Amino acid sequence: MGVESKLGNLGILTTTIEKAVNWARANACWPLGFGLACCAIEFMSTQASHYDLARFGMELVRGSPRQSDLIIVSGRLTRKMAPVLRRLYDQMPEPKYIIAMGDCAACGGVFNNYAIVQGVDEIVPVDVYVAGCPPRPEALIDGILKLQEKIRRSRPLREAREEASKVHA
């Protein structure tokens, strides 16, 4: 009465190594906690039991950039914190991804002054933008799903092969 009796013998799985690697990368992103303002509260509530990011393989919010492959920048980034964000980004292993959570992280929000960076993409490359002030946990989950889809579509082995052929040419 198990799964085998209903589905038959499922002993063979066919896929490419690239698809298997991308599936593992997409479903095991470990975010670095980088909460800067009110959006961080929404990020914390997304981690809590009601929304439960563990369903998406993100149950471990790391405190070290060397153990993370995703930074969720939640809130306004000041010019004083910008070098810290860049240093954390540089310390992360490849592949690394960035989600800009909230209007302040995406474009500076209502803070159009000298002290606030007008978009995190001035400092680090952003993969997914999550709109809202502050964005609801559902919006962050949607952004995470978009990032996972982007990771699944990536071609890391083909890109590495093409880079190697350019170097040797």
Q: Is residue 79 part of a domain?
A: yes
* pLDDT, tens digit (0-9, with 9 covering 90-100), for 93-134: 888 999 999 888 888 888 888 888 998 999 999 999 999 888
Q: Is residue 20 part of a domain?
A: no
Phi, psi angle pair for 106, to nearest 5°:
-75, -45
- Tokens 């063979």 correspond to what residue? 12
pLDDT over 70 at 2, yes or no: no
Can you give the pLDDT at residue 65?
85
* pLDDT, tens digit (0-9, with 9 covering 90-100), for 140-152: 999 999 999 998 8
Beta strands in 23-69 (DSSP E): 31-35
- Note down the domain range covering 75: 29-147
Tell me the whole-structure pTM to 2 decimals.
0.82
pLDDT over 80 at 20, yes or no: yes
Can you give the pLDDT at residue 8?
64
Q: H-helix or E-strand containing 72?
A: strand 70-74
Q: Is residue 10 part of a domain?
A: no
Q: Is residue 116 part of a domain?
A: yes
Sheet with 128-130: list strands edge to edge.
31-35, 70-74, 97-101, 128-130
Whichever domain contains 81, its CATH number is: 3.40.50.12280
Report yes or no: 67 and 30 within 8 Å, Cβ to Cβ: yes
Q: Is residue 155 part of a domain?
A: no
Q: Is residue 128 part of a domain?
A: yes
Can you give the pLDDT at residue 143?
92
Contacts of 10 (CB under 8 A, 6+ apart): 3, 4
pLDDT over 90 at 18, yes or no: no
Q: Is residue 7 part of a domain?
A: no
Q: Is residue 104 part of a domain?
A: yes
